[in-house]
């Protein structure tokens, strides 16, 4: 029997949108599918749409894996096609069942029908089940509760589809439907995962790396750029615009003029300030961080309040309620764990005993001791942009 000639692509949240928004999101999803298929070298002839389904016309086994990596895809199934009739679906099921059902196994037909037909979904199940019993295997039986083999039959208005299962997709919303965000990427485990989670929710990201030289070295930068390269693979339809800003001079100013216990909080506030400038340049809508509540000293609730106080744009923390194990599991799944755990120099400006309960007023007083606007201007003047 030849390879399945089509892939059924399913989505979830898109179905809840208004007709106009749904059509727009579907168009973006199709565009992203084409880009991922092209990036992976998967062949296809066309991609078509019907209500609730997208169809990739391809018999290339690689296309299935490509489709499931696209944000917005909940699952996908390689399927055989037939005419939208019982007379066409039943023989196809018999042929397929003759390959996948073994002697003594149980099976179930999972039937669905959409469109205007003179038969019901139950009629489909009965006709295809009868055909399966004649497939050649001995002592087969129907078991609708815990079958050894499941055969899915979906009869739509013009075409029938027969398949044996589905592969889970990444889910979420189509990338590019929720605007742009500036993503702070440090090269550690957390920040790439945070950026990926917002990509999953449909946001295009603008990676921003803060270079701490002389308080870190090229190994730290290399990790960050490697993680950005991995994230780029999840967005083949659009090349990232990457920014790199000098941050070492800021750290020197904190060390020489302020209470060093506040370094981490003040460092984070400067990161948000330069991220805000990038946000304005790119027309983005917010800033993404890898903060997880209580994970390190700078991420206590009181410190996070002090860090964000007075900032004028939204700051998003996708990892806020996740523990390290959960974050690490996602990093492994998306491919950023390995590059983010390569040997690198930790930031040398971190104090031995950083504040875990910084107060807004003391941070404000500390910032009066340095020229914040000049430091921001210097970062903007010396920022690097990679397209």
If pLDDT is split at 50, 70 and 90, which confidence band does 162 have? Answer: very high
Q: Return the structure tokens found at 13.
A: 């949240």
Lowest pLDDT segment from 156-160, 166-170, 213-217, 367-371:
213-217
Handedness of CA 300, 305, 311, 315 (dihedral sign): positive
Supply the pLDDT for residue 298: 77
Q: Tens digits of per-residue pLDDT, 325-351? A: 999 999 999 999 999 998 777 776 677
Handedness of CA 289, 313, 367, 365 (dihedral sign): negative
If pLDDT is split at 50, 70 and 90, which confidence band does 382 have? Answer: very high
DSSP 8-class letter at 368: T
What gap in Å lies between CA 95 and CA 136, rounded to an integer?
Answer: 9
Supply the pLDDT for residue 2: 78
CA distances from 171 to 14, 231, 266, 322, 354 (A): 11, 16, 37, 19, 39
Supply the pLDDT for residue 64: 96
Facing residues of 182 across strands? 206, 287
DSSP E strand boundaries for the chain = 6-10, 46-50, 53-57, 75-83, 106-113, 141-142, 149-155, 159-163, 167-168, 180-184, 204-211, 242-246, 287-288, 315-316, 384-386
Q: Return the structure tokens found at 53.
A: 């389904």
Q: What would the mean pLDDT of 292-320 be, rounded to a whole number?
A: 91
Q: Return the structure tokens found at 386.
A: 């990679």
Share of the chain above pLDDT 90, in %: 72
Handedness of CA 256, 258, 260, 265 (dihedral sign): negative
Q: Are 128 and 90 in contact (CB under 8 A)?
A: yes
Q: Are 207 and 243 in contact (CB under 8 A)?
A: yes
What gap in Å lies between CA 387 and CA 379, rounded to an integer?
Answer: 19
CA angle, 98 then 99 then 105, to 5°: 75
Q: Tens digits of per-residue pLDDT, 196-241? A: 999 999 999 999 999 988 888 889 999 999 999 999 999 999 999 9
What gap in Å lies between CA 129 and CA 164, rounded to an integer?
Answer: 14
Q: What would the mean pLDDT of 311-326 be, rounded to a whole number?
A: 95
By DSSP bridging, strand 287-288 and strand 75-83 are unpaired
Supply the pLDDT for residue 318: 97
Mind giving me the DSSP string for 239-252? PPPEEEEE-HHHHH
Supply the pLDDT for residue 257: 79
Q: Tens digits of per-residue pLDDT, 122-137? A: 999 999 999 888 777 8
Q: What would the mean pLDDT of 90-94 be, rounded to a whole number?
A: 90
Q: Are 283 and 318 in contact (CB under 8 A)?
A: no
Whether residue 97 has pLDDT greater than 80:
no
If pLDDT is split at 50, 70 and 90, which confidence band does 260 have? Answer: confident
Q: pTM of the full predicted structure?
A: 0.93
Q: What would the mean pLDDT of 237-258 be, rounded to a whole number?
A: 90
Tokens 């003179």 belong to residue: 118
Q: What would the mean pLDDT of 281-290 be, rounded to a whole number?
A: 97
Q: Return the structure tokens found at 169.
A: 């997709």
Question: Rounded mean pLDDT of the chain?
Answer: 92
Share of the chain above pLDDT 70, in %: 99
Q: What would the mean pLDDT of 65-69 be, rounded to a whole number?
A: 97
Q: Are 184 and 274 in contact (CB under 8 A)?
A: no
Whether residue 321 has pLDDT greater than 90:
yes
Domains of the chain: 6-168 (3.30.2130.30), 180-386 (3.40.50.620)
Supply the pLDDT for residue 216: 83
Whether residue 1 has pLDDT greater than 80:
no
Q: Tens digits of per-residue pLDDT, 27-66? A: 999 999 999 999 999 999 999 998 888 999 999 999 999 9
Q: What would the mean pLDDT of 300-322 be, rounded to a whole number?
A: 94
Give which of 273, 330, 279 is closest to 307, Cα–Cα: 273
Phi-psi map region of 202: left, alpha, beta (phi>0 left; psi -120 to 50 alpha): left
Supply the pLDDT for residue 334: 97
């Amino acid at each position: 029997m030849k390879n399945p000639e089509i892939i059924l692509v399913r989505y979830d949240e898109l179905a809840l949108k208004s007709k106009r928004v749904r059509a727009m999101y579907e168009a973006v999803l199709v565009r992203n599918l084409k880009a991922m298929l092209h990036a992976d070298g998967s062949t296809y002839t066309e991609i078509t749409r019907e209500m609730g389904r997208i169809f990739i016309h391809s018999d290339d086994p690689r296309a299935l894996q490509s489709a499931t990596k696209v944000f917005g895809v909940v699952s996908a199934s390689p399927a055989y096609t037939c005419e939208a009739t019982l007379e066409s679906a039943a023989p196809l099921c018999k042929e397929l069942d003759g390959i996948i059902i073994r002697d003594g196994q149980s099976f179930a037909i999972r039937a669905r029908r959409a469109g205007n037909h003179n038969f019901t979904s139950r009629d489909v199940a009965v006709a295809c089940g009868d055909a399966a019993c004649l497939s050649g295997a001995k002592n087969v039986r129907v078991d609708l509760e815990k079958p050894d083999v499941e055969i899915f039959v979906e009869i739509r208005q013009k075409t029938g589809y027969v398949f044996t299962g589905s592969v889970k997709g990444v889910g979420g919303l189509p990338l590019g439907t929720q605007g742009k965000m500036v993503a702070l990427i440090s090269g550690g485990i957390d920040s790439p995962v945070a950026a990926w989670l917002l990509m999953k929710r449909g946001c295009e990201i603008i990676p921003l790396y803060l270079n701490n030289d002389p308080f870190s070295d090229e190994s730290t930068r290399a990790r960050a750029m490697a993680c950005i390269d991995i994230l780029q693979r999840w967005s083949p339809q659009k090349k990232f615009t990457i920014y790199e800003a000098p941050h070492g001079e800021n750290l020197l100013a904190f060390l020489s003029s302020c209470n060093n216990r506040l370094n981490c909080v003040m460092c984070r506030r400067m990161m948000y300030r330069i991220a805000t400038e990038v946000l304005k340049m790119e027309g983005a809508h917010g800033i993404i961080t890898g903060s997880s509540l209580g994970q390190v000293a700078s991420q206590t609730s009181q410190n996070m309040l002090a860090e964000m106080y007075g900032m004028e744009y939204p700051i998003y923390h996708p990892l806020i309620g996740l523990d390290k194990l959960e974050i690490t599991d996602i990093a492994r799944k998306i491919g950023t764990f390995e590059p983010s755990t390569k040997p690198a120099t930790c930031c040398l400006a971190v104090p031995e005993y950083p504040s875990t309960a910084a107060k807004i007023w003391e941070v404000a007083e500390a910032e009066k001791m340095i020229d914040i606007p000049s430091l921001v201007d210097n970062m903007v003047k010396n920022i690097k942009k990679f397209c």
